[in-house]
Amino acid sequence: MKFHVKDIYLWKSAGTDPRILHFLPNKINVITGGTGTGKTTVIHIINYCLLSSKPKIPTPFINDCIEWYGLNFKINNKDFFIARTRPDQFDEPTGGYYFSGIGDIPAYPSSTISEAELKIILEREFGIEDNLVMPYGGKLIKAGSKISFRFFLLMNTQHEDTIADSTTFFDYKIHEEVRYKEAFDRIFDLVLGVGSVEKIILQQRLGELQRQYGSILNKEKAQLKAQNEVDSNILELVAKAQNFSLMDNRLYTPSEAKEELVQLIQEVKTDLKVSPLKEVEELKQRKTRLMLQIRNMESLERNTANYLIAEGKDQDSLKPVNLIKGYFESEIVKTFELKYLIDGITENLKQVKESIENRNAFVINMQKEINILKSQLSEVTEQISSFPEDLEELRGEASKYMFIGELQTLLRLYDEVAKESPSFTTMNKKQIEDQITDIESQLEDLQNSRGIQNSLLNEFINKTKKSVEEMLGSYKDYRAHFNTKDKVLNLIPPGSATPASNIGSRSNHMYMHLIMMFGFHEHMINNQNKYVPQFLIFDQPSQPYFETITGENLDSLTIEDRRKLQNAFKMMDDFISLVISQYGNDFQIILLEHAREDQWTGLDNFHLVDDFWDGRALVM
């Protein structure tokens, strides 16, 4: 993808002229200067204007002095200008954007577009289609989420903390490190030139199906474990049933055992409705109640008989009343008072007779009730005597009843487990298996393409290495190989398949970074990659050689270190010439360096952007 930076603008405030750095296409654009002058900040300004959510612009001396940062650039033969308000006091990005789609640069910017709108425009220019999504997820990357154009910027910078690192080959740290590492794994096929958007979508669908399939397998595994546990319980129930002499003493399979136990329940449960211990206890309680009722009734009967005897005496005492009444009717002089007395006594005598007659009936009924109670008592006693007198034997019978309840419960559990493994799971599993097989067959050519493209990449890397292999000293005959899994470049000894574990100096590692980046970009230009911009920023590739000198005086470099540094610069110069002459294409390099102009004298494609020496800096 054609891209080059034209200018960087820094506005301190309205009404002041901006600080401008001018860059040229098809050149190595150098900003040279001492430590702390703001050279490295150029990377962060470009990154910030291209919508970074993690600005790394130093607050003291730079961010405190600048109100707006601007980036004037050309992309796909279109002139774009983006300006962005500085991060806030907490180094958080702000949402103020100025944008021109024709490259117009204002005297002083003002907000004209939202980040969301600007992102849509840049995604289109970076070739990010709506259906270009992450094929699978991670800790921070969600499967199916749209790929950001910013992830591809990992291919465009080599920060001073990375350029000579022995284990890290890409600038994850200047972004959101974990997220960008995850993203790079998922977009690497697009960087390598493998497949198409349609293949990426198929990969995403394959990932979804594989996750569903894994979920079904886990569920089946859990169901099998549960069923095995129930089968074990079933066989334990068989052992218990055999101890109670309820089943034959032989081996059963779980399915046979279940059938036998179900039949056993049907045969036994009608006879085992109540626990024996509980039934005996209830019978004994009933016997006690009956004995108490009989005792009370007999006591009442005795007391009633005695009362009747006393009452009979009361009746005899009233017999003279009849005699008096006879005399009254025949001989006694009839007076009103005497007649009233005799009538009252007569009425009392009548009531006494009636009471005695009724009580005799009551006594007869009470005796009947006593007889009924004694009969019930005899029946209860007989029932109690039918149970074993030995308590342990009785408890054994009770255990048999409890066992039947346990048996019913576990058999229900067995049935529930069986219901949880229905045929629809198998059906879904078969459907998913078929879909996975179909997609994998469609992606077979993707695997082949991946192998071919990886091989081509290593050819470009080794071609680049050959041009500077003398700078690698004793490792010059080692074969370079990019490890796609770990995203690192290895050197492999001749006749070996195992990478060297240690390749010595930081100078060697710096060269490996340059070799890798140039190899990748030639590969991507050859593939006409539409996602990665055709530019590189190298931040202080000379730093390995500062380990041997004091301060920043490069004049004191050893002849060997000076030769190695000049060869690194020539490597950059040759790459620009290669892209222009062999591919008829464009490429831009921005070089942030301590080295002065005399280090690249005689090279055709170098351009000095600015000199941050003698008190000069990015912000003055």
3-state secondary structure 185-245: HHHHHHHHCCCCHHHHHHHHHHHHHHHHHHHHHHHHHHHHHHHHHHHHHHHHHHHHHHHCC
pLDDT band at 326 (very low <50, low <70, confident <90, very high): low
DSSP lists the bridge partners of residue 588 as: 535
pLDDT band at 289 (very low <50, low <70, confident <90, very high): confident
Per the model's pLDDT, the better-predicted residue between 343 and 123 turns out to be: 123
**CA separation for the pair 566, 573 (Å, rounded):** 10
Q: Which two three-digit tokens encode residue 499?
A: 């990478």
Please report the pLDDT score of residue 114 as a whole number.
96
Longest dimension (CA), the chain: 180
Provide φ and ψ at 28, rounded to 5°.
-95, 105
> Angle 571-577-579 (CA atoms, 0-180°, nearest 5)?
100
Please report the pLDDT score of residue 374 as a whole number.
86
For residue 150, give Cα distances in angstroms to 54, 185, 548, 597.
12, 14, 37, 33
- Checking if the pLDDT of 272 tops 50, the result is no
- Segment of 161-175, 329-343, 408-422 carrying the highest mean pLDDT: 161-175
Please report the pLDDT score of residue 414 as a whole number.
65
For residue 367, give Cα distances in angstroms to 302, 311, 360.
11, 20, 11
Please report the pLDDT score of residue 392 as a whole number.
47
The model's pTM is: 0.68
**CA separation for the pair 141, 43 (Å, rounded):** 25
- Cβ distance 534 to 517 under 8 Å? no
Encode pLDDT of 216-262 as tens digits. Answer: 888 888 878 877 877 787 787 788 778 777 778 888 887 787 787 77
Q: What is the mean pLDDT of residues 319-327?
A: 60
What is the H or E stretch that residue 3 is in? strand 3-11
Q: How many CB atoms lie within 10 A of CB 205?
A: 15
Encode pLDDT of 405-456 as tens digits. Answer: 666 666 776 666 666 555 445 558 888 998 888 888 877 777 888 899 999 9
**CA separation for the pair 522, 525 (Å, rounded):** 5
